Chain A
Amino acid sequence: MDKSPQALTAAVAAVAVRSGRSAERGVVYVYEAPVRLWHWINAAAILVLGLSGYFIGSAIPTMPGEASDNFLFGYIRFAHFFAGYVLTLGFLLRIYWAFMGNPHAKQIFYVPLWRKSYWREVWHEIRWYAFVAAEPKKYVAHNPLAQLAMFFMFTLAIAFMIVTGFALYAQGTGNDSWQYKLFGWVFSIWPNSQDVHTWHHLGLWMIVTFALIHIYTAVREDIVSRQSIVSSIISGEREFRD
Chain B
Amino acid sequence: MGGGAETFYGVIRRQGITRRSFHKFCSLTATSLGLGPLAASEIANALETKPRVPVIWMHGLECTCCSESFIRSAHPLVKDVVLSMISLDYDALIMAAAGHQAEAIIEEIRAKYKGEYVLAIEGNAPLNEGGMFCIDGGKPFVEKLRAMAEDSMAIIAWGTCAAWGCVQAAKPNPTWATPIDKVITNKPIIKVPGCPPIAEVMTALVTFITTFGKLPELDRQGRPKMFYSQRIHDKCYRRPHFDAGQFVEGWDDESARKGYCLYKMGCKGPTTYNACSAVRWNGGVSFPIQSGHGCFGCSEDGFWDKGSFYDRLTTIRQFGIEANADQIGMAAAGAVGLAVAAHAAVTAAKRLTRNPGRVAQEK
Contacts and interface: CB of A to CB of B under 8 A. Distances in A.
B244 A74 contact: yes
Contact of B340 (A71, A201, A206, A212): A212
B343 A202 contact: no
A91 to B, nearest CB: 22
Interface string B211-250: 0000000011100010001110010000011111111110
A234 to B, nearest CB: 22
A63 B246 contact: yes
A184 B220 CA distance: 8
Contacts of B117: none
Contacts of B220: 184, 187-188
Contact of B244 (A58, A63, A198, A223): A63
A119 interface: no
Contacts of A171: 231, 270-271
B312 interface: yes
Interface string A100-136: 0000000000000000000000000000010100000
A194 B297 contact: yes
B288 interface: no
Contacts of A202: 325, 328-329
Interface in A192-241: 192-195, 197-198, 201-202, 204-206, 208-209, 212-213, 216, 220, 223-224
B247 A62 contact: yes
Interface string A39-78: 0000000000000000001111111000111111110110
A191 interface: yes
B332 A205 contact: yes
B326 A224 contact: no
B240 A67 contact: yes
Contacts of B245: 59-60, 62-63, 70-74, 76
Contacts of A77: 243
A185 B352 CA distance: 55
Given A192-B301, A209-B336, A197 B314 contact: yes
A184 B273 CA distance: 14
A174 interface: yes
Interface in B248-268: 248-249, 255, 260, 263-264, 268
A67 B306 contact: no
Contact of B230 (A70, A71, A174): A174
Given A57-B313, A198-B314, A73 B344 contact: no
B244 A73 contact: yes
B292 interface: no
Name the prevailing secondary structure of the A interface residues: helix
A19 interface: no
A4 interface: no
Contacts of A129: 343
A59 to B, nearest CB: 5
A198 B316 contact: yes
A89 B306 CA distance: 33
A88 B333 CA distance: 24
B255 A62 contact: yes
Given A193-B271, A212-B333, A57 B303 contact: no
Contacts of B303: 192, 194
Interface string A168-199: 00011011000000001001100111110110
Interface residues of A, number: 46
Contacts of A212: 333, 336-337, 340
A216 B350 CA distance: 17
B346 interface: yes
B243 A208 contact: no
B329 A201 contact: yes
A166 B306 CA distance: 22
A191 B301 contact: yes
A192 B297 contact: yes
A194 B325 contact: no
A212 B270 CA distance: 31
Residue among A62, A197, A206 with max Cβ neighbours from chain B (10 Å): A62
Given A63-B244, A129-B343, A131-B346, A175 B219 contact: yes
Interface string B312-336: 1110100000001110111011001
- Sort A-B residue pairs by CB-CB distance and give the 7 closest, nearest first: A205-B329, A70-B244, A201-B325, A73-B245, A72-B245, A74-B243, A191-B301
Interface of B: 164, 219-221, 225, 229-231, 234, 240-249, 255, 260, 263-264, 268, 270-271, 297, 300-303, 306, 312-314, 316, 324-326, 328-330, 332-333, 336-337, 340, 343-344, 346-347, 350-351
25 contacts: A59-B312, A60-B247, A62-B248, A62-B255, A67-B243, A67-B246, A70-B244, A74-B243, A74-B244, A131-B347, A171-B231, A171-B270, A172-B234, A174-B229, A175-B219, A188-B220, A191-B164, A194-B268, A194-B314, A197-B271, A198-B324, A202-B328, A209-B329, A223-B347, A223-B351
Interface of A: 57-63, 67-74, 76-77, 129, 131, 171-172, 174-175, 184, 187-188, 191-195, 197-198, 201-202, 204-206, 208-209, 212-213, 216, 220, 223-224
